[in-house]
């Protein structure tokens, strides 16, 4: 089977995306970490206006996605997933969202656009993934949907998911 | 307790989670949700919830497009089995001891309506930095008796016939005004706390949303005694009075420059809305044009309602 080109969108540069990048590369795929840089001054300004999640990297992430000819966009934050959804409309390729930390009520709507981006990421991504059982349970509790349980470094399970989603998109 | 829900399925789920943590014994209360969701959403949000599995939660749907807060609440309390009916909204998060405190206050004043405290959710306070925000702050007892945190004896609801389903806005205060007419008392339960969502909107979004207040003219027509709460018995609140005065002042200033003075209370109040200090005043000044558009739209909406219902209210 041909290697997949996967965009890993992770502004927070979490261990999850790095582990997955290494595992996918070892499995012969072409993963790329895209759009990770934020503009500190702009972030500070946005934070003062009530935006509590990083946003300034999104234009760059969206541009990188459009340039990259990726098969799949895999986001690791709600804002990254929100940036990938317009790309899906344009390119017709799937978006996967991995929730990297357990959700709790305090963090669900603690800033402007927070609920909007989380709801879009969880409800509109083609697949929702939880790397641990604690995260899966928290997503079920707050969003009433069941993410697939896949460990960050499990390249084979991620590949199966990507191919399944690509096949669904083609049909 | 009864919740009407429309267009906020995630917030509803979070409300259910908050109710799951209530300290009042589950044998003593039940929850009725009356919603407009399709079967799939209802199954996902409501049927799958532990309160449903525990037999505490029942839900019923009304056809999309036919629901309203008053109609849905009426369906809910009529289906309820309790002697006391507590209401909250689907964008609220009650504190764990909310029902217990509300029930305790009701026990002390058995035939009275009980109003609890509603505050902007502290977990969402950062959103208050947005220029256009919708939330609710109620220190009981307030004049409007909102259904975000209120309890009615069932017999009283039956006697009153429930909420007025012709009222598109202000149905909660309408219910209270009818209760007051027949001599009902109200008790405050400031320690029964509900946290209200803090939601930011775009300017067109908030203008669209606030246009519903034009239906308050119906309330003013139906309950003239409520005008006692209105500034000068015509203006819905002090904001509307200041906005109208500023409008008159600015329009009149073309003929007589002195009339511009009428805009001063509006300008002063607008500059103070973010608090004291230069930075806050600069932010308030930057937000003033957007606020003015919102408030003028609100007053014009009220004027349209006043014409429609042939009653003077702004």
Inter-chain contacts counted by CB atoms under 8 A, chains A and B: 51
Chain A residues lying within 8 Å of B17, measured CB to CB: 105, 141-142
How many domains are contained in chain B?
2
pLDDT at residue A58 tops 80: yes
CATH number at residue B74: 3.90.550.10
CB–CB contact B130 A115 (8 Å):
no
CB–CB contact B126 A144 (8 Å):
no
**CA B258 to mean position of chain CA atoms:** 39
Chain A residues lying within 8 Å of B132, measured CB to CB: none
* B10 in reach of chain A (CB within 8 A): yes
Chain A residues lying within 8 Å of B44, measured CB to CB: 144-145
> What is the spatial distance between Cα A150 and Cα A104, in angstroms, rounded to a whole number?
20
CB–CB contact B123 A115 (8 Å):
no
* A141 in reach of chain B (CB within 8 A): yes
* A105 in reach of chain B (CB within 8 A): yes
Please check whether residue B211 lies inside any domain of the structure.
Answer: no
Q: What is the DSSP letter of B197?
A: P
Residues B162 and B26 in one domain: yes
pLDDT above 70: percentage of residues in chain A: 99
Please check whether residue B217 lies inside any domain of the structure.
Answer: no
Min distance A147 CA to chain B CA atoms (Å): 13
pTM: 0.93
Residues B273 and B196 in one domain: no
Helix pair A114-124, A133-143: axis angle to 10 deg: 110
DSSP of A72-117:
EEEESSHHHHHHHHHHHHHH---EEEE--S---GGGTSSSTTHHHH
Given B10, B49, B129, which is nearest A49 (Cβ)? B129
Give me the pLDDT at residue B167, please: 86
Residues B160 and B11 in one domain: yes
> What is the spatial distance between Cα A72 and Cα A155, in angstroms, rounded to a whole number?
14
Given A110, A144, A145, which is nearest B123 (Cβ)? A110
Residues B185 and B103 in one domain: yes
Please check whether residue B115 lies inside any domain of the structure.
Answer: yes
* A145 in reach of chain B (CB within 8 A): yes
From the number of C-beta atoms within 10 Å of its C-beta (0-12, 13-18, 19+), residue B194 rates as buried
**CA B177 to mean position of chain CA atoms:** 16
Please check whether residue B263 lies inside any domain of the structure.
Answer: yes
CATH superfamily for domain A5-170: Glycogen Phosphorylase B; (3.40.50.2000)
CB–CB contact A105 B124 (8 Å):
no
CB–CB contact A50 B200 (8 Å):
yes
* Partners of B61 in the β-ladder: B35
Give me the pLDDT at residue A36, please: 67
Residue whose C-alpha is closest to residue B199's, from B253, B284, B130: B130
In this structure, of A52-66, A115-129, B140-154, the range with the lowest mean pLDDT score is: A52-66
Q: What is the DSSP letter of B141?
A: S
CB–CB contact B14 A108 (8 Å):
yes
Please check whether residue B295 lies inside any domain of the structure.
Answer: yes
In a structure prediction context, what are the per-residue pLDDT tens digits for chain B, which is 314 residues long?
999 999 999 999 999 999 999 999 999 999 999 999 999 999 999 999 999 999 999 999 998 888 999 999 999 999 999 999 999 999 999 999 999 999 999 999 999 999 999 999 999 999 999 999 999 999 999 999 999 999 999 999 999 999 999 988 889 999 999 999 999 999 999 999 999 999 999 999 999 988 888 888 998 899 999 899 899 999 999 999 999 999 999 999 988 989 999 999 999 999 999 999 999 999 999 999 999 999 999 999 999 999 999 999 99
Residue of chain B with shortest Cα separation from A123: B10
pLDDT above 90: percentage of residues in chain A: 88
Give me the pLDDT at residue B31, please: 98
Give me the pLDDT at residue A1, please: 75
* Domain span holding position B274: 227-309
- Report domain extents, chain A: 5-170
Residues B156 and B233 in one domain: no
Please check whether residue B222 lies inside any domain of the structure.
Answer: no
CB–CB contact B49 A110 (8 Å):
no
Averaged pLDDT of chain A: 93
Residues B102 and B53 in one domain: yes
Residues B135 and B61 in one domain: yes
Residues B235 and B195 in one domain: no
- Phi/psi at B113 (nearest 5 deg)? -80, 145
* A112 in reach of chain B (CB within 8 A): yes
Question: What stretches of B219-282 adopt beta strand conformation (E)?
Answer: none
HSE-CB at B205 with a 13 A cutoff on CA atoms is 8
Residues B158 and B244 in one domain: no
Given B93, B121, B126, which is nearest A111 (Cβ)? B126
Min distance B296 CA to chain A CA atoms (Å): 24
* A119 in reach of chain B (CB within 8 A): yes
Helix pair A114-124, A78-91: axis angle to 10 deg: 50
Please check whether residue B284 lies inside any domain of the structure.
Answer: yes
Give me the pLDDT at residue B197, please: 98
Please check whether residue B176 lies inside any domain of the structure.
Answer: yes
CB–CB contact A110 B48 (8 Å):
no
B177 contacts: CB under 8 Å, gap ≥ 6 = B223, B225, B226
Chain A residues lying within 8 Å of B14, measured CB to CB: 105, 108, 142
- Map B73-137 to HEC letters: HHHHHHHCCCCEEEEEECCEEECCCHHHHHHHHHHHCCCCEEEEEEEECHHHHHHHHCCCEECCC
Give me the pLDDT at residue B64, please: 82
* B86 in reach of chain A (CB within 8 A): no
Give me the pLDDT at residue A14, please: 84
Chain B residues lying within 8 Å of A147, measured CB to CB: none
* B225 in reach of chain A (CB within 8 A): no
């Amino acid at each position: 089977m041909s290697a997949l080109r996967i965009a890993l969108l992770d502004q927070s540069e979490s261990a999850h995306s790095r582990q997955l990048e290494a595992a996918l590369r070892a499995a012969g795929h072409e993963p790329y970490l895209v759009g990770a840089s934020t503009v500190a001054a702009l972030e500070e300004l946005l934070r003062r206006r009530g935006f509590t999640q990083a946003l300034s990297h999104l234009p760059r992430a969206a541009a990188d996605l459009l340039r990259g000819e990726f098969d799949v966009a895999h986001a690791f934050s709600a804002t990254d997933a929100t940036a990938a959804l317009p790309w899906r409309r344009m390119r017709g390729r799937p978006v996967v969202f991995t929730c990297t930390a357990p959700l709790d009520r305090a963090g669900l709507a603690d800033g402007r656009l927070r609920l909007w981006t989380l709801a879009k990421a969880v409800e509109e991504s083609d697949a929702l993934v939880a790397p641990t059982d604690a995260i899966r349970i928290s997503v079920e509790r707050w969003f009433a949907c069941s993410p697939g349980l896949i460990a960050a470094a499990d390249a084979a399970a991620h590949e199966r998911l990507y191919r399944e989603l690509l096949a669904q998109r083609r049909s | 307790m009864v919740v009407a829900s429309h267009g906020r399925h995630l917030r509803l789920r979070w409300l259910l989670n908050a109710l799951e943590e209530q300290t009042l014994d589950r044998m003593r209360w039940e929850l009725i949700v009356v919603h407009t969701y399709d079967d799939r959403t209802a199954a996902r949000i409501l049927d799958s919830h532990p309160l449903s599995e525990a037999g505490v939660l029942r839900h019923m749907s009304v056809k999309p497009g036919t629901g309203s807060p008053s109609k849905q609440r009426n369906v809910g309390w009529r289906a309820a089995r309790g002697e006391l009916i507590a209401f909250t909204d689907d964008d609220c998060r009650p504190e764990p001891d909310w029902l217990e405190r509300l029930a305790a206050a009701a026990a002390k004043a058995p035939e009275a309506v009980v109003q609890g405290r509603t505050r902007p959710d502290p977990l969402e306070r950062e959103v208050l930095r947005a220029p256009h925000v919708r939330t609710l702050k109620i220190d009981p007892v307030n004049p409007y008796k909102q259904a975000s945190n209120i309890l009615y004896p069932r017999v009283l609801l039956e006697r009153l016939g429930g909420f007025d389903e012709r009222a598109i806005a202000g149905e909660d205060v309408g219910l209270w005004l009818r209760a007051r007419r027949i001599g009902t008392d109200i008790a405050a339960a400031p320690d029964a706390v509900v946290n209200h969502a803090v939601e930011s909107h775009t300017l067109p979004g908030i203008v669209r949303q606030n246009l519903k207040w034009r239906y308050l003219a119906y309330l003013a027509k139906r309950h003239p005694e409520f005008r006692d709460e209105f500034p000068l018995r015509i203006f819905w609140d002090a904001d509307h009075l200041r906005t109208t005065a500023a409008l008159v002042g600015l329009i009149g200033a073309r003929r007589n420059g002195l009339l511009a003075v009428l805009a001063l209370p509006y300008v002063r109040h607008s500059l103070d809305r973010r608090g004291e200090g230069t930075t806050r005043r600069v932010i308030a000044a930057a937000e003033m044009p957007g606020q003015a558009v919102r408030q003028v739209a609100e007053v014009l909406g009220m004027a349209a309602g006043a014409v429609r219902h042939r009653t003077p209210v702004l």
